Structure 1
């Protein structure tokens, strides 16, 4: 492997006395791991932070070998870690991506969407400005990995009108009329998820509840409790912020 490209840092794991294994998301080659010599040094710690954009150089003699990785900072999002909410959002978005994407498979839409979410977190003056984008990113990740929701028509009637809920079993939308008497068993389908646009906090929290169910069931079940813990921290902080 010989690859030089920009990448979004997703996860850093200590390795040896001073090195680190870094997973980063590229546009053309997907998520790649690499060993960074001195990755825990004072010079490289600010570079190797989740959400940062780096110019990475991966080098390996064989396909089986963990590549050596050199990094140069292209864009730092370190200032965002001074604020609890943006820090929790970056931590969750990057941890989710690192946990579920297979290595070495290109997902250009995921790469582009993750960059957009991180840009929104960086630019928005308040969490409501990026929380909608985060919900949409989670839905995109589910769809990219084969677990997309069918929100185009009602599972019971086939209608596309007044869709207000989602079946937690099938992942299909349910109309308000068909849901009568079963609302407590269904997940909310906020308007912005289907129609786009901005959203109020009630709908945003409903969207996060919707995606949480399918992420835990289909992508993170039984193998990434620490990743879900990052999401719990984010949602807790969001709920405290809007209380």
Structure 2
């Protein structure tokens, strides 16, 4: 069994004296693991930083074996991430969430394409927060927990929409919410693609998407807490936004 693909490095951990086990999100083969011979060497290890774009070949005797990688680095994103704390925190959140959420060896081409575009924006402070929010929305959609913000779940009208039901993920209008408003999640205009995408609105939106990641997706997929990297990114963004 063998194939060739391009992918985003999620993690690399030492295996034996000189090898490393690489976890990669690939364009056509999803999240995949394999052994890279010599991956722990001084020559190779520096190029294996999370977020790196790799040209990959995978080979195994049987399909269900871990297999072995042949890797050619295409570009590193380490410089953009290391030069800015928010970018580094964001990169850590993205690779941690992909590793946590994605089933092994299941293709997710749309999410892969959006993840690659997002990581290519590292270091661009004016673009990154909104792009990251859109990526979280796409991640929830891909995992089966997408938000339905098309119309009020109670009245059927499509505006004004002010809340999100924590139970169904559907939008709710102020009229539809009634006395239940305090129990609903906020729906800032940025989640609807309306108005200015200011930091305050993005932070509010991230608290809403975060609820579904933490309270719905994590218990369903892994039955363990969401990676701390996600909360650390949001906290750093909140501090920088003031």
Aligned pairs (5 A) from 1:154-193: 154-193=152-191
TM-score (norm 1): 0.91
Aligned pairs (5 A) from 1:48-127: 48-79=48-79, 80-122=81-123, 124=124, 126=125
Number of aligned positions between the proteins: 239
- C-alpha distance in 2, partners of 1:20/1:219? 30
Q: CA deviation at 1:145?
A: 1.7
- C-alpha distance in 2, partners of 1:142/1:193? 13
Equivalent residue of 2:197, what SS? coil
Unaligned runs of 5+ in 2: none
Q: Deviations over 1:157-199 (max 9, x none)?
A: 1111111110111111011222344333211112122225750
Partner of 2:231: 232
Q: Deviations over 1:136-161 (max 9, x none)?
A: 11111111121111111111111111
Q: Deviations over 1:95-125 (max 9, x none)?
A: 1111111122211100000011111224x1x
TM-score (norm 2): 0.92
Q: CA deviation at 1:64?
A: 2.0
RMSD (CA atoms) = 1.7
Partner of 2:19: 19
Moved more, 69-78 or 190-199: 190-199
Q: CA deviation at 1:62?
A: 0.3
Unaligned runs of 5+ in 1: none
